Structure 1
Amino acid sequence: MKQPDAPLKGVLKRDLGLLDAVGVGLGAVIGAGLFVVTGVAAGVAGPAFLLGLFMAGLAASCNGLSSAQLAATYPQAGGTYEYGYRVLNPWLGFSAGWMFLASKLSAGGVVALGFGTYLAALVPGIPPRGAAVAATLLLMAANYWGIKKAGKLNLLIVGLTLAALLYFILAGIPSFTPANLRPFAPQGWQGIARAAALLFFAFTGYARIATLGEEVRDPRTTIPRAVIITLLSSVLLYAAVALVAVAGVGADALSRSSSPLSEAARAFSLPGVLLVVGIGATTAMLGVLLSQLLGISRMLYAMARRRDLPALLERVHPRHQVPHIGIFLSGGIIMLLSLFGSLEFIISAASFTILLYYSITNLAALRMQRQHKLYPNWIPLLGLLFCLALAASLSLKTIGAGLALLAAGLLLRLLLRPLMQAR
């Protein structure tokens, strides 16, 4: 049953246009999925992982359109946390917010350290952990000075990543060898389905646009357009990069490498491709880290506004109109994790948390009032079915870790929410 809306006290500045919103989505999507998971997918499906890529893109598009129509109708910070509250019930809303924070904070430490590692490979002598902390501080500052400045920095980072990937695609065309695409599907449809499941998680960053819905101008028009543009361009970019990589060196070579694009780049004849790939991987990690800081700080703000977290996190800077306390807290946690190690238990539950988050998104989209819906019900229904099918394919260890993490959050809410409401 729909719950009464809580009063929205904080005021964030609507300063993101369509280009900024697309940049946020691309910055969140183009990361480890493209630079790492393509090799793993090639190992389980052979060259046919390209079909798995399009299947994953279709599933992600259903989830993305569910997020888009919800964000267009309820353009507040918090994404699925907010939709769960408004359309379903507070416990489901809290579940979405809790899982988002747990997984993204822990992943933030991994991404920050990933950036430091890539940068150290480009510039020997730079300590990876020091670079991770410096990058986090830089991005915290960009966040603090306003969403517009953070958006512009994000566009610069995404632009560099896209330029590197486009050069990789052009460099790979002369090395295109059709024989490397045979046998096309050595593991049949089962391998293609496994590749689709792996690649699905590479597209999930588009929801960051919805999490920042309170800072997007003309959200009912801008957010759906931004989500669609992000997903279409991401699928096409992933497909082009993956095609030239697998046709250049073969699926076996990609699957054996922890850095499959670098493996492919070594076989390309144009000069500097390996260096360009390294730069692209570095900027991609930086873009993902920026998008995570944006999303986490806004989720902290949204949950504090409904007293699922301490009210201190609801504070908005009077000049810059950003949730500055949330920015400092999220950045501080990410720096600590990058220095001392991430929470392996939470990372192991990440697949489950993502699927739970999007399952709640699709449920909320199905329960929306008819006059607010932008798309037919089969879209969120297909998205929900795909999430459930993926959840069923996870290991019992992953499911158990995810359920334990969820139970811990629900228990904390039960015990602490009365205290936070009283203040």
Structure 2
Amino acid sequence: MAEKKKLLQKKLNLLDVFSIATGAMISSGLFILPGLAFAKAGPAVVVAYILAGIIVIPSMLAQIELGTAMPKAGGSYFYIERSMGPAAGTLGGFASWFSLALKSAFALIGVGAFANLLFPVFTEMHIKAIAIGFCIIFALLNIKSVKHTSRFQVFLVLSLLAMLFLYCTVGITKVNLHNFIPFSPKGFGAVIPVVGLVFVSFGGLTKVASIAEEIKKPKKNLKMGMLIAFIVVMLFYVATIFITVGVVDASKLANSLTPISQGGEIVLGRVGMIILSIAALFAFFSTANAGILSASRFPLAMSRDRLVPEIFGKMGKKSQTPIISIILTAAFMIVMIAFLNFENLVKAASTMKIILFLYTNVALIVMRESRIDTYRPSFRAPLYPWLQIIAIIIYAFLIFKMGTVPLIITAFFIILCIVWYVFYVRMRVQRKSALVHIVERITNKKIASTTLADELKDILIRRDNIIEDRFDKLVKSAIILDLKHSIEAEEFFNIVSENLSSRLNIPSQELHNLFVEREQQSSTILEPGLAIPHIIVKGEKKFDILIVRCKDGINFEKGEPPVHTVFVLIGSMDERNFHLRALMSIAHIVKEHNFDKRWFNAKNSEELRNIIYLSTRKRETHESK
């Protein structure tokens, strides 16, 4: 019961997911960074953004797969910790929190640059005060309710996209193609570090996975929300930057902190500059708002796993939001607003994000190779494992191209995480990860526990909003036999009768005779490899099920292929209706995709039980009520 109280409520729909992912991407990466990136790469900055978007795709697909399999607060942290263990999880959790909170702090600093454009009398102190003030406002909004937060996010994002659409529609007619000559004045080699610099622009896409626990129908909405957000943002990034390069003079664009607003003034006049500056403010507000919402879920998730003190998991009684985590995130952002150095910390955040994406792809490989049966994503990343391996190599290359200062900051951060793990986490957490399952499979030694498999099972039940029906309850308590050698039908019915006798309070010989008589009337083999022996017993309100796997096969009839899967049904006459429903449930289960493969690959009786219990057969759910 205690764990259930800590679960976050499912309040976010597809539009919320799209708005949070989109708002997390469109901010300083579009409204500030293009000027800095143009100074380094020239018009080829457009290519840098395209490349950054392309190399995000493997991580987006990995996040969707992992997120639909494990929709839990913490997103990347949770996947990394469960796949590679508490040490990697400590680094992944702090890095996720650090990079997202830092990106949100950048957004609020961006507010200052545009506020100064609209109101030149503002001093740096005023700008920082305004940024800190909005940080506090967004923190309070997040504390109040995730639903209020998401509604505000939808408004900001839709308004922002409308203003960018206006700029692109009018601006495309005013592009001067001579502005793109020379296209790459410093050579293509100068573009690669810029890809790393602007990579953070797409980093917010995957932060929505950190709130997957709060998404309605995550199997559908998480995948669609992230894919639609990526496509929309990619199109707007390329179109907006292409138009800006095409209309703004190179000398004015290089190192400008308000490049899109400059383009807006050329395309639409003074009104355009104001509209695009307002769009920028909306973008910064949406990123800061989404950033606090998402980043605050990492300390919450880590507190659940005892990687940080439990106080960070404290939830508001009415709002059901992680109050302490939100306050901590906002406090960290305020400190960054007061002391950060823009370009180096942008690079540090990008480096952290690249490391996280690298880890995420490793996590996907580990989860796939662990072959845990309860790892059941509703979406599987294509081109496995080559797409993930190529992504890991590219990310590692980009990290070392980021420059000395970001690498030093990142190395210092990793050292702090290691120190925290050694002196705080290691003595408190002994959880085994999916990596252990791979070692077990390679060495053929039993070293993994069922803890992770059971946790994934509980996650699937909540993800699919499963309410146990009577068939589920029977499966949970059913006897499951995993026979190790081939046997004849007579011996098989003896084994079944002996196992059921005490449960039904019926002599085993009586049960055996009923099974034999039923088989003589007509074969209970429904299809090659599958049999459903069923008998009627005396009494009332009696029904039970026994499940059998025999890899070598049970010989039911001469001339027929051996049976490998058996569902034995026993019931009294008054249970005939339920008997038919049970047959329908079994028919659905054995027709599921890859049932035979999963059935034969199951390691033990509990994995066999999970294959049946976690089937996708139609049953009553919270959402169908």
Q: What TM-score results when the alignment is normalised by the length of structure 1?
A: 0.90
Match for residue 20 of structure 1?
16
Give a deviation string over 1:318-377, Cα, whole Å, max 9, x none.
322211221122223323443x42488976633332221111111011222366461222
Give the alignment of 1:313-332 within 5 angstroms. 313-332=312-331
Structure 2 distance, partners of 1:329, 1:76, is: 20
The 8 Å contact of residues 72 and 224 in structure 1, kept in 2 or not, is answered as yes
Distance of 1:362 and 1:145 partners within structure 2: 35
Matches within 5 A, 1:356-367: 356-367=355-366
**Counterpart residue number, 2:413:** 405
Give the Å deviation of 1:309: 1.0
Which amino acid is the alignment partner of residue 416 of structure 2? A
Q: Give the equivalent residue in structure 1 for 2:381.
A: 375
* Partners of 1:65 and 1:227 within 8 A in 2: no
> Aligned-pair distance for 1:113?
3.3
Asked which structure has the greater RCO (Cα within 8 Å, sep 6+), the reply is 1
* Residues 150-202 of structure 1: per-residue CA shift (max 9 Å, x gap): 00001111122222222222332332222222233334432443443333221
Residue 115 of structure 1 pairs with residue 111 of structure 2: yes
After TM superposition, list the pairs within 5 Å mapping 1:380-391 onto structure 2: 380-391=388-399
One-letter amino acid of the counterpart of residue 118, structure 1: F
In the TM superposition, 1:5-404 aligns within 5 A as: 10-123=6-119, 127-270=126-269, 272-338=271-337, 340-342=338-340, 349-369=348-368, 372=377, 374-376=380-382, 377=384, 378-404=386-412
**Which 4+ residue blocks in structure 1 deviate beyond 6 angstroms?**
343-348, 418-421
Q: Is the 8 A contact 2:196 2:347 kept in 1?
A: no
Q: Where does residue 4 of structure 1 map in the other structure?
A: none
Q: Is the 8 A contact 1:112 1:286 kept in 2?
A: yes
Structure 2 match to 1:3:
none
Which stretch of the first structure deviates more once superposed, 22-31 or 290-299?
Answer: 290-299
* Displacement of 1:396: 3.2
Distance 1:40 1:123, change over 3 A: closer
State the 1:270 CA deviation: 4.6
Which letter does structure 2 place at the counterpart of 1:285? F
List per-residue Cα deviations over 1:100-152 (Å, max 9, x = no partner).
22334444444323324423543466622332232122212221221111000
* SS of residue matched to 1:368: helix
- What's the offset of the Cα at 1:418? 6.3
Unmatched 5+ residue regions in structure 2? 430-625
In structure 2, the CA distance between the partners of 1:195 and 1:8, relative to structure 1 (3 Å rule), is farther
Indicate the RMSD between aligned Cα atoms, in angstroms: 2.5
Partners of 1:123 and 1:39 lie apart in 2 by: 21
- Of 60-69 and 109-118, deviating more is 109-118
1:272 is paired with a residue of what secondary structure? helix
Judged with a 3 Å threshold, the aligned counterparts in structure 2 of structure 1 residues 174 and 386 are, in CA distance, closer, same or farther, namely: same
Aligned residues: 415
> Any unmatched runs of 5+ in structure 1?
1-6
Indicate the larger mover: 39-48 or 101-110. Answer: 101-110
| Structure 1 residue 277, shift from structure 2 partner | 1.6
CA contact (8 A) 1:48 1:184 kept: yes
Q: Which amino acid aligns with 1:52?
A: A
Q: TM-score, normalised by structure 2?
A: 0.62
Q: Deviation at 1:413?
A: 2.4
Q: Which moved more, 1:189-198 or 1:389-398?
A: 189-198
Higher helix share: 1
- Counterpart CA distance in 1 for 2:330 and 2:97 is 13
Mapped to 2, the partners of 1:37 and 1:262 lie a distance apart of 13
Q: Percent identity?
A: 23
Q: Report the structure number with the largest CA radius of gyration.
A: 2
Query: Structure 1 269/395 Cα, relative in aligned 2: closer, same or farther at 3 Å?
Result: closer
Change beyond 3 A, Cα 1:194–1:409: closer
